[in-house]
Copies of this chain bind each other. A is one copy, B any other.
Amino acid sequence: MKHFRSLHDVKDIKALIRRAITIKRHALRNEALGRGKTLGLMFMNPSLRTRMSTQIAAANLGMQVAVLNAGRESWALEFNDEAVMDGEAVEHVREAAAVLGEYCDIIGLRSFAGLTDRAADYAETMQSAFVQNCSIPLLSLESATRHPLQSLADAMTIEEYATKLRPKVVLSWAPHPRALPQAVANSFAEWMGALDADLWITQPEGFDLATSFSSRARVCYDQDEALKDADFVYVKNWSSYDDYGQRGSGLDDWQISRQKMALTNDARLMHCLPVRRNVVVESALLDGPSSLVIPQAANRVYAAQAVLETMLTEMM
């Protein structure tokens, strides 16, 4: 792969998952691979897991890491190619991306959906601007519509904890006090689809994901029915794609509770974190034996390392 923006950049998804699982046992097996190479990490939005896990993965490969928190440590960016830049933005992405391309060997970029202009978000304007203006591989740290490092860690986790060949995986919408992007859900649906998983997506009416992401899943508006006999429950909020960016109301009973988990086949609980306890999911579930959220987060290091290792290897 040159870039890592989505699974479409990955030649063999299953091989990449296996590579990540191997790295987990031998994290320093390639500690000189990235010698003299720099990973630049540009954060347009907050990050704990992505920030830490990607830094550690890069260091495990011997890379140097330089972090840039955009807009506070650096300059406000302009993305409009026609702009007369007499306002707040101090630098155009054309220069910023090109310069980072000169300084670094791989650039990681996190930029969330704005949730106001669906066409712009789904065109991945910000990520595309970096790819177009930067000569080096781009590693998505979550973009407007996808979070592929998360999905890779998710797929690793399911591979590790599955007790049957084709487990039933349910992606369930949950309530949230703020409107969130669809990126994690889109990306999870896309990866599960590509892996030919038995994926169900359950959400209230009006919260369907874009069909390009959900087409290989079974969509079900009845949460109880979807949860029945589930082996994995991936709980996640997302705002509406149809009524773009709206978070809905009166949907609090979509919270995943112990009672709802009782409908499943002793399913394991997944979430990408951060999670709002007792809003998205009952806190007792997160503290209980069914929860995989911590091992899932731990896998982020190995997911990032598998991708960086692949990029570095193909660069040589």
Q: Which residues of A contact B (CB under 8 A)?
A: 27-28, 31, 36, 38, 40, 43, 46-49, 51-53, 55-56, 59-60, 64, 66, 68-69, 72-75, 78, 81, 83-87, 89-92, 94-96, 98-100, 102-104, 177, 273-279, 283, 286-287, 293-295, 297-298, 301
Do A47 and B73 touch (CB < 8 A)? yes
Do B74 and A277 touch (CB < 8 A)? no
- Give Cα A52 to B295, complex, Å: 31
Q: Contacts A95-B275, A103-B298, A275-B95 known; A60 to B74 CB distance under 8 Å?
A: no
- Give Cα A90 to B64, complex, Å: 30
Do B86 and A279 touch (CB < 8 A)? yes
Interface centre among A49, A52, A273, A293 (most CB of B within 10 A): A52
Each complex incorporates copies of this chain amounting to 3
Q: Which 8 residue pairs of A and B lie closest in terms of their CB atoms, listed nearest first?
A: A91-B274, A102-B298, A85-B276, A59-B64, A84-B278, A48-B74, A99-B297, A86-B177
Return 23 A-B CB contacts under 8 Å, by A number.
A36-B60, A48-B68, A48-B96, A49-B103, A51-B68, A52-B68, A52-B99, A52-B100, A56-B64, A84-B277, A84-B279, A85-B276, A85-B278, A86-B279, A90-B276, A92-B283, A95-B274, A95-B294, A98-B294, A99-B297, A99-B298, A102-B294, A102-B295
Do B83 and A274 touch (CB < 8 A)? no
Q: Which of B52, B83, B91 contacts A278 (CB 8 A)?
A: B83
- Give Cα A280 to B276, complex, Å: 44
Do A78 and B277 touch (CB < 8 A)? yes
Within 8 Å CB of A293, what residues of B?
95
Within 8 Å CB of A279, what residues of B?
84-86
Q: Which of B47, B85, B286 contacts A74 (CB 8 A)?
A: B47
